[in-house]
Amino acid sequence: YDASVEELSRIVPLNIAKSIKNKDYE
C-alpha cells in the first residue's frame, strides 16, 4: 500500500473536476 497513490487518486480527480469547471465558465 502506497500512501502517495492514494493522494494521487484524490488529487487527480479534483484537478480534472477543476479543469471541467474552468471550461464550463470559459
pLDDT per residue as tens, the chain (26 positions): 576 878 877 888 888 888 888 777 66
- Closest Cα to residue 19, out of 11, 4, 6? 11
Render 1-26 in DSSP notation, one character per residue: --HHHHHHHHHHHHHHHHHHHHHHH-
What per-residue confidence (pLDDT) applies to 25?
A: 66
What per-residue confidence (pLDDT) applies to 14?
A: 82
Place of cell 470559459: 26
CA separation for the pair 12, 15 (Å, rounded)? 5
pTM of the full structure: 0.43
What per-residue confidence (pLDDT) applies to 24?
A: 76
- Closest Cα to residue 22, out of 7, 9, 14? 14
